[in-house]
Amino acid sequence: MEKENLNDIAKAAKLFREVMHLFKQSMSKVFEDIGITAPQGMVIGILSKEKTLKITELSAKLSLSNSTVSGIVDRLEKQGMVERKRSVEDKRVVYVSISSDFKEMHQNFHKRIGEKIEDAMSKGTPEELAKVFEGLDALKKLLGGCEE
């Protein structure tokens, strides 16, 4: 690979890390406003898509240990955001899902994240937004999220 190409790849990787850091900071503020941490927000996000998972399944999706995820779930359960239910077939198996009380708050949370992103994007010119869409589409393809 040419040295110039390697420099471009390094620049892209650095820029991507910087964007992800800024995105995390922005999302952390939204999490903070509703009283949860970023890891707790990630658990809620996964459960909103998957509906019900075992701790081991959640751990695998988050690439965290079972004990770490169990601690996160403990705190979310105390706040009434998630609930644990034992399997009827096997009492050793415990499933976690978003609590019915939290579902409305969760929808509100997603709305606020969307608003935060829309607010940031609204500051761009049509040309800048076109570049962002083009760049994100290219990145999505490179990361394998889209087979066209």
Query: Can you tell me the mean pLDDT for 81-105?
Result: 86
Q: In this structure, is residue 71 part of a structural domain?
A: no
Phi–psi pair at 99, nearest 5 degrees = -70, 150
Classified as helix, coil or strand, 18 is: helix
Please determine, for residue 7, whether its predicted confidence score (pLDDT) is greater than 50: yes
Nearest-angstrom CA–CA distance, 119 and 104: 23
Quick one: 5 exposed, middle or buried, by C-beta within 10 A (0-12, 13-18, 19+)?
Answer: exposed
Token pair for residue 7?
Answer: 């420099």
**Mean pLDDT for the stretch of residues 59-75:** 93
Inside any domain, residue 64 = no
pLDDT score recorded for residue 1: 55
Is the model's pLDDT at 6 over the cut of 60?
yes
In a domain, 73, yes or no: no
Is 137 contained in some domain?
Answer: yes
Query: Minimal CA–CA distance to 80: which of 44, 31, 30?
Result: 44
Tens digits of residue pLDDT in 100-126: 877 777 677 777 778 888 888 889 899
- Taking the whole predicted model, whether its pTM rises above 0.95 is answered as no
Domains in the chain, number = 1
Summarize pLDDT for 56-66 with one digit per residue, the tens: 999 999 999 99
User: By residue range, what is the domain housing residue 119?
Assistant: 102-148
43: left (phi over 0), alpha (psi -120 to 50) or beta: alpha
Residue 36's Cβ-count burial label (10 Å; 0-12, 13-18, 19+) is buried
Give the span between the Cα atoms of 29 and 25, in whole angstroms: 6
Residue 14 domain-assigned (yes or no): no
Please indicate, yes or no, if residue 49 is contained in any of the structural domains. Answer: no
CB count within 10 Å of CB 81 equals: 24
- Residue given tokens 């969307």 in the structure block: 114
